Structure 1
């Protein structure tokens, strides 16, 4: 999973690969089941794609929502529908968990990811992402 995150963060504008931080984050999610889930796709027993669903509560919706994080497919498997199938699985899983909304972020110029999300019903929000690194 950490190797997949290294691929992801190497292509994102706002982040850089940091294996120790990535492993710490993955461990936290895996050890705290109520914080979220990491879903993977495998080929011949090898993890080739992953997506994380991280949970919080929405006061606007009155229930649990998720942040879709870390959607990444190994380059050799891109364009073969792996990401689409993993995303479909993540959406189905979220429905079984009574998740009311899924929010995600993409780089402004990541047209391929944006097309994938649009094809699965995601719409661009009128809200703007802001962050403060502490």
Structure 2
């Protein structure tokens, strides 16, 4: 298995992974067109972020999305970990740990001072996974507003 930066050629397999992820998340539903548009934008604009993929014999088996922004509190670049998903048949094999570890390394390489991520409140397996990798529960509470 190798971890690599996603390319436009990976988009169809990434869309499949996002459909798996969003089918299990409470606030989202799969939307192939939206996923394709977003993935294309991120891949074409490395200043926005980077998508890392885990591949086994050229087949994408997992992905993680690292998006960049600037924290006014820190005065520096920070990252948002999104779309962490592994094919169900590959879960429990270490793929997720490898992806997350590489995302943390990439964040450091890109000058990020902090990483933040969101999970569903009832996704206790994900909470334990991220805690095992050094993430701690924040006192911040997310709010959303659709503006379009």
Establish whether TM, by shorter chain, passes 0.5.
Answer: yes
Deviations 1:100-130 (A, max 9, x none): 1111000011111111110111011001000
The residue matched to 1:123 in structure 2 has which SS? Answer: coil
The count of residues paired between Structure 1 and Structure 2 equals 134
Q: TM-score, normalised by structure 2?
A: 0.89
2:146 pairs with 1:133: yes
Query: 2:123: which partner in 1?
Result: 110
2:114 pairs with 1:101: yes
Structure 1 runs of 4+ with >2 Å offset: none
Instruction: Report the CA distance between 1:95 and its aligned residue.
Output: 1.0
Partner Cα separation in structure 2 for residue 74 and residue 27 of structure 1: 21
Query: 1:82: which partner in 2?
Result: 95
Unaligned runs of 5+ in 2: 1-13
Q: TM-score, normalised by structure 1?
A: 0.98
2:58 pairs with 1:45: yes
**Aligned Cα root-mean-square deviation (Å):** 0.6
Query: 1:14: which partner in 2?
Result: 27
2:137 pairs with 1:124: yes
Unaligned runs of 5+ in 1: none
